[in-house]
Structures are given as structure tokens and as C-alpha cells.
Amino acid sequence: MEALPTVHSGMMSRVSVDARVRSLPLSQLTPLRHASLSDSFAWPYRIHLSSRRRSNCTSHAYAPSQAVRLFPLRASAVADAVEVTESLEPNSRVKLSVKVAPKICKENYEFVLKELSRRTKVPGFQVGKTIPEPVLVNFVGKDKIKIAAIEAVLRNTLPQALSSVAGRALKDSEHIVTSLDDLKSCFSPSSVFSYDVVVDVVPEVKWTSPEVYKKLKVSVEIDDEAVYHNAAEAEFKSRYKELGSLRVVQDGVIEMGDVVILDVSCNRVNDDGSEGEQILSAEQKGTKIQLCV
């Protein structure tokens, strides 16, 4: 798929559009900070989107410079305003067609304008004061504002869109497959906003013919039944002792099946047979020995 400039939020870049690019997993959104552009703003993450058109020139993609907090929306409000349709794709993939209600688009668009008005230095206006929308749009650029609003909508609605495949989706496999041009042409504060996400899911395993396995019988030949019986009995006793608690026996002799805890110390023997110096490397405490039956 031929692509137009990839949009990078948080930095300014020159992107050759005579190249092939592919959509990037949303999980690879990378925090960015860049303070060189005073006439724009940025979300703290970047989203890479591709376009279908082709050009032989070099284009510029300008990204926001200062991090803007994510517009907070209640989960219930998002759930009521997002419609998701699932469709199966080849190779164990699911496409989620997402439709976002106009009220979410409007809220995010207005929030972007508010943040821009608060952060942008426009000649003739004090920083932090409300700037008329036409002046702000003309100064910052309509395209930049629209892209920022699209990012805000995506970040607020993607968790809800992906919730239906949360138990099946493979980690870091989600991709926005709708091109940037289509997103921009589709977005309006007063209209339904649509985009598609593709995610890899765990393959569903199905028997080719369940009837074949209904009367299936498996037989195992045993040479000596006693050998397997004794091995199973020994394994059972071993597991039983591992889970059981030990009881100290005050009197009596050691019997088979008991567990003995020893403190071991060693000394060298002198030439005359007397006890010599201690061998520290051979010293052990709390050594557990099990007397097997």
C-alpha cells in the first residue's frame, strides 16, 4: 500500500511519500516530548497511520510540540456512544468496524480547541485567554486541529472497541487499518466518526469430524503390571510426604519410610589417629534424608 506522510505526534519530521509504510501496532505508541514548536501542541503519544494515495514529492508532517492530557470521558459515556461490528478475516484475524457518536467527536474537538487556546501564543492575545475559534484555526492550521481531535477520539474509544476481543486478542497485534486521509475526510464534530481496527486472535480449534472420535478407544500394553503398580505407589507416597507435615519421634529407632534431619560436620584425622582440624567445606546443617521403602 503506497502511503502519504506518516503523522508523528510530538516531533517535526520530513517524510518522503514515495515509500511504502505499514500501519503500526497501537501498543508501540511511544512517549515523546519536543518544545521547539510554539505554535502547535501534541498528545504525549504518537499514532502512525497510512494513506492510499501516491505522490512523487517530499511532504512535511508537522506534529504537536507540547503534551496535552487526554480528555477524560466516563467509561459508561463511551460505551453508550461507541458501536462495534465484528467480522472475521483470514489468518485468525478479526476486523472491528467502529462507529463513534457525534457527541464524543464534538466533546473531543472542543477540548482540543480549549487546550490550544490555553497553550498557543497568538500575537495580540494573552497566553491562557480564550482565543476566537476562527483566529485559532487560522493560526494553528485546520489540518493540525483535525488530526489532534482524531487522536483524542481514537484514544478515548479504542479501549471500548477492543473490549469485545480482550480475551481472544494476541498481545500487541492491533492495527488501525483506516488510512489517515479517510480518517480526516470522515471526521466532523457533528457527524458519526468511523474507523476500522484489525486484531490477531487465538485460532479456534475444531474437530474435522466429531463423530470420528466418539467411539475412539485407546489401549496400552503393559508387560509387567506389578512394576507399574509399584512405581505408581512409590510416586503416590512421595507426593503424600511432600504435602504432609513431619512429626518428631522422641524414642525408638529409625525405620524405613522415615525422614531423618542431620547436621553434618567433618574433621581431619591426624597421623596418630587423633581428631584434627575441622573441614568447613564439608559442614552441612539441616540435611534431609528420606529412607525409601
Confidence of residue 73 (pLDDT cuts 50, 70, 90): low
Considering the domain architecture, whether residues 164 and 231 belong to the same structural domain is answered as: no
* CATH code of the domain covering residue 186: 3.30.70.1050
Considering the domain architecture, whether residues 245 and 188 belong to the same structural domain is answered as: no
Considering the domain architecture, whether residues 33 and 99 belong to the same structural domain is answered as: yes
Half-sphere exposure of 33 (CA within 13 A, CB side): 1
Considering the domain architecture, whether residues 153 and 54 belong to the same structural domain is answered as: yes
Closest CA to 105 of 136, 81, 140: 81
Confidence of residue 289 (pLDDT cuts 50, 70, 90): confident
Closest CA to 195 of 158, 163, 166: 158
Is 80 inside any structural domain? yes
Q: Using DSSP, how many helices (H) and how many strands (E) does the chain show?
A: 7, 8
Closest CA to 47 of 143, 188, 153, 137: 153
| Over residues 117-125, mean pLDDT | 83
Confidence of residue 46 (pLDDT cuts 50, 70, 90): very low
Q: How far apart are CA 103 and CA 71, in angstroms?
A: 13
Considering the domain architecture, whether residues 44 and 164 belong to the same structural domain is answered as: yes
pLDDT score for 195:
94
Which residue intervals of 42-127 are DSSP H helices?
75-81, 102-119
Question: What distances in angstroms separate CA 108 from CA 35, 87, 102, 103, 216, one per listed residue?
Answer: 23, 28, 10, 9, 60
**Cell 492491533 found at:** 174
Residues 1-17: tens digit of each pLDDT: 334 333 333 333 333 33
**Structural domain span for residue 20:** 13-200
Is 212 inside any structural domain? no
CB–CB of 104/156 below 8 Å?
A: yes
Percent composition of the chain: helix, strand, coil (DSSP 3-state, to 5): 30, 25, 45
Q: What is the pTM of this model?
A: 0.48
Please say if the pLDDT value at position 196 is more than 50. yes
Considering the domain architecture, whether residues 168 and 32 belong to the same structural domain is answered as: yes
pLDDT score for 192:
93
Of residues 190 and 209, the one with the higher pLDDT is 190
Q: Domain total for the chain? A: 2
Considering the domain architecture, whether residues 167 and 224 belong to the same structural domain is answered as: no
Considering the domain architecture, whether residues 229 and 268 belong to the same structural domain is answered as: yes
Considering the domain architecture, whether residues 235 and 196 belong to the same structural domain is answered as: no
CB–CB of 169/198 below 8 Å?
A: no
Is 5 inside any structural domain? no
Considering the domain architecture, whether residues 179 and 76 belong to the same structural domain is answered as: yes
Of 142, 165, 200, the last residue of a domain is 200
Is 85 inside any structural domain? yes
CB–CB of 34/11 below 8 Å?
A: yes
Considering the domain architecture, whether residues 142 and 268 belong to the same structural domain is answered as: no
